[in-house]
Amino acid sequence: MTKPLRATFRPVDGTADSSIVGSLEDVLALFRSTDWPTAWSKNGGNPTAFPELVVERVSDGDALYLGFDGSKGDFQCTTIVTVPKKVLGLALMSDDWESDAVNLPPKTIADVLAAFGAKDIDKLRAFWAAAP
């Protein structure tokens, strides 16, 4: 069974955050149902006020931050994940990987969410490495 994810949509217009706890499919549904350009247009003229989707793995505190930059039409993304570190072949230790912020096109976000949900660190790093 997959571990639940918590996703919180943070608008920029002063309305309350909306959160769900569920599966990757639930998070993807929230992402896809959000009208990102409209949400960004409510930023009161502040070009750095991005509506965000914050996704957390409930079990270990890993987090993925997606902020929609309507001026560019892409998502500013950053993540913090715990990476198991093998000692004598056993995952006895871990390190945290805190990524730099990168801009990713909307067409990649579902795959980024899937990699985060699966805790596929190599795939996440590949998205970050390929970012412009």
User: Range of 54's domain?
Assistant: 5-126
Tell me, what's the pLDDT at 91?
61
Note the pLDDT of residue 132.
82
Report the domain count for the chain: 1
No. of H helices and E strands in the chain? 4, 7
Q: Does residue 98 lie in a domain region?
A: yes
pLDDT tens track for 36-84: 999 999 988 888 899 999 999 988 889 999 999 999 999 999 999 987 7
Query: How many whole angstroms from its chain centre is CA 12?
Result: 17
Q: Kindly state whether residue 64 falls inside one of the protein's structural domains.
A: yes
Neighbouring-strand partners of residue 66: 53, 77
What tokens appear for 121 in the block?
């660190």
Q: Does the pTM of the predicted model rise above 0.95?
A: no
Is 49 inside any structural domain? Answer: yes
Residue 87 maps to a domain: yes
In a domain, 61, yes or no: yes
